[in-house]
Amino acid sequence: MVKFAFVTSLLLAVISDTSAFVPSTPFAPSSTHVTDPASSLPRFDSSSSSSALLAISKRRNKERVSSPRTLETIKAEETVKIIISGAPASGKGTQCEAIKERFGVVHLSTGDMLRAAVAAKTEIGKSAKEYMDSGRLVPDEVIIGVVKDRLGEMDCKRKGWLLDGFPRTRAQADALAAVGVSADCFLFLNVPDEVLVERVVGRRTDPETGKIYHLTFSPPDDDAVVARLEQ
């Protein structure tokens, strides 16, 4: 309960003041439904969680006095496991940066994990490579295997993790739960369709650096960069 309160109080501060709880999913102990009230992305404000953190700290100290635990146990309890989801251009990248900075978790996306597994030539990676090389979609069972293996690595165990945009379906969520993967908090960024469209059509990519800009919200200030942007 203490861990859940700690995670939730900070994540709500990371995302928005307009957050509201929704019933928990079978996959995660808690879910947070976040509505994006404007076209600009919300920013992190740590001051809004100060009093909550103080109360949580006091409760933690009382628990440690009444029930001594090993350093390993305390560390395991303080790691945070988060899943964030939302449509393209809903702001997952921006929020993931803020959450990663605040919690020190390992930020993971399925694309990065698939490429890493293929590069490492793991058994799961070899299976994924066959599908990727032939232009076919990688099936759920292979992706689940890649995710499970990655979450089992030492950095994720030590720091906690932020799973970005996965699972995408109920079947994928059930499959993750079946192999023992669970999260402390599930975040869904709910952004109006018209805002998503505005964000997407205004996006441009710098082919040299891979950085994504927006012509209205975050245009580059270098004319050379502007000239080479691609939609």
Burial class of residue 58 in the structure, from the number of CB atoms within 10 Å of its CB (0-12 exposed, 13-18 middle, 19+ buried): exposed
List the chain domain ranges. 2-110+158-191, 194-231
Helix axes 123-133, 110-120, angle to 10 degrees: 110
The predicted pLDDT at position 115 comes to 87
pLDDT digits (tens, 9 = 90+) for 56-84: 445 545 554 444 544 344 445 568 899 99
* Number of neighbouring beta carbons within 10 Å of residue 139: 12
pLDDT at 135 over 60: yes
Residue 117: both structure tokens together: 């597994």
Burial class of residue 226 in the structure, from the number of CB atoms within 10 Å of its CB (0-12 exposed, 13-18 middle, 19+ buried): middle
8-12, 135-139, 192-196: least confidently modelled range: 8-12
The predicted pLDDT at position 62 comes to 55
pLDDT at 34 over 60: no
Overall residue count recorded for the chain in this entry: 231
The predicted pLDDT at position 77 comes to 56
The predicted pLDDT at position 78 comes to 67
Separation of alpha carbons 45 and 64, rounded Å:
29
pLDDT at 184 over 80: yes
Closest-CA residue to 145 (of 170, 166, 160, 159): 166
